[in-house]
Amino acid sequence: MKWIADPSAGSWLRERLDDRHETMHGVVPRGFPAYARVFHPASVRSLPGRAVPSWDELDRMPDADRDALFGQYVDEPATWAETAAAYGTVLHPQAQWGRIVRTPAGGDWRSRVAPDGRQFDAPVEGEMEPRLLAAIARHLVAHTSTPDAGCAAVWEGWGGLTGYLGHPATPAVMSDDPAHLEMLQRSMHDPFNNAFRKPTWQPGILPDEVSNGRRLELPDRAYVLFSAAPSAFADPDWTLYAPWRDVESERQGFPPSAHHPSILWPADRAWVLVSEIDFDSTVIAGSPALVAAICADPDIEALPLPENACLTWDADEVNR
């Protein structure tokens, strides 16, 4: 995978996008015969023998009781279908998480306790695990004549990806010692002097040449473009080979990580994968055969999506 200095390789996407975001085609190109929506996994928390308490209930508990309770939690991935079954709602192509979990007006849709006492937490927007992308990519490479040539676009706004002119970000700290943490926080923050310091160049994960280079400009978003073989993402360890891998965090003890491409397509443009940063799903545009294969895979939760589908928070007409 290599940086593409000339982002015109992605100009065909701009020609197929709407200027307005009234439907998914504000971010998902038109002109494909079929579309699939891959639902990002949620998570579910349960407590053997009782309902998961609310945050207010936890706040009223003695510290010792609360700590003991935390040790009994069972956290697992959850599908949207499992979530809908718990709340008595319906999973359909344009379902929205807030409606699936029956969020009341003004309520927090991110974390809801179902009638059966389990707590369901919303999927992370704009992100999915490397193994899920690998499962999808295995189908993608089977439906292109150029599995070893293509492009990956990564949203420029992911924290730390590109360098910038400003003040250093607060470094990540890994410590279990409260006194040590307090000392580190004192050394990191100097609000009086920070206000008068001149901004300086702060390097990002990517080289300065890339940070200062041209972007693939699409409606309301800009991306760093890389040459990338779609077949590379069929390997769950693709993060180890991504040039936007966060090596500095690894030096501080974090596991290898890299955001998956926001947009991915093969050289023959047989399909395109779009993971919009504000969506809790990934949309794939391609052939009917590709969409059918993805939706039939038991390792992927996906449904066919009609053209002109709307994926905004209030688009779920079924679960109102």
* pLDDT value at residue 53: 75
Distance of alpha carbon 163 from alpha carbon 133, whole angstroms: 27
What phi, psi does 222 have (nearest 5°)? -130, 140
pLDDT averages per 10-residue partition of the chain, 320 residues: 92 92 93 97 86 74 74 87 96 96 90 90 92 96 97 90 71 51 52 66 83 91 94 94 86 87 97 94 97 97 96 89
* pLDDT value at residue 185: 53
* pLDDT value at residue 131: 94
Q: Which CA distances in Å does 97 have to 26, 165, 255, 259, 268?
A: 20, 38, 29, 23, 34
* pLDDT value at residue 19: 86
In terms of DSSP H, where are the helices of the chain?
Answer: 11-15, 55-60, 63-70, 80-87, 97-100, 130-140, 178-188, 191-194, 208-211, 247-251, 288-296
Distance of alpha carbon 261 from alpha carbon 285, whole angstroms: 15
The SS3 assignment for 130 reads: helix
Picking from 250, 249, 273, the residue whose alpha carbon sits closest to that of residue 261 is: 273
Distance of alpha carbon 299 from alpha carbon 274, whole angstroms: 19
Q: Where are the domains of the chain?
A: 2-39+126-163+203-304, 42-121, 169-200
pTM reported for the whole predicted model: 0.84
How far out from the chain centre does Cα 283 lie?
A: 12
